[in-house]
Amino acid sequence: MDRQQLQTLVSSTGASIPIANAFAKTDRAEFVPEELESVAYEDKPVPLPEGQTTSQPSLIALILDHLALGKGARVLEVGTGFGFQTALLSELVGAKGLVVSIEYFRSLHEQAKKRLAGRKNVLLLHADGKKGFAEKAPFDAIVVSAACAELPPKLFAQLKKGGRLAYPQETGFGQDLVLVEKTAEGKKKTTPLLPVAFVQLR
**3-state class (DSSP) for residue 165:** strand
Rg (CA), the chain: 16
In this predicted structure, the answer to whether residue 163 has a pLDDT above a threshold of 90 is yes
What pLDDT does 159 receive?
A: 99
DSSP class of residue 63? H
Tens digit of pLDDT for each residue in 7-50?
Answer: 899 988 888 999 999 999 999 999 999 999 999 999 999 999 99
The per-residue pLDDT for range 84-126, each reduced to its tens digit, is: 999 999 999 999 999 999 999 999 999 999 999 999 999 999 9
- Residue 15: alpha-carbon gap to chain centroid: 15
Task: Walk me through the domains of the chain, giving residue ranges and CATH numbers.
Answer: 3-196 (3.40.50.150)
Is the omega angle on the peptide bond into residue 49 within 30 degrees of 0, that is, cis? no
Catalytic residue among 55, 90, 101, 145: 55
Would residue 55 show up in a list of annotated catalytic residues for this protein? yes
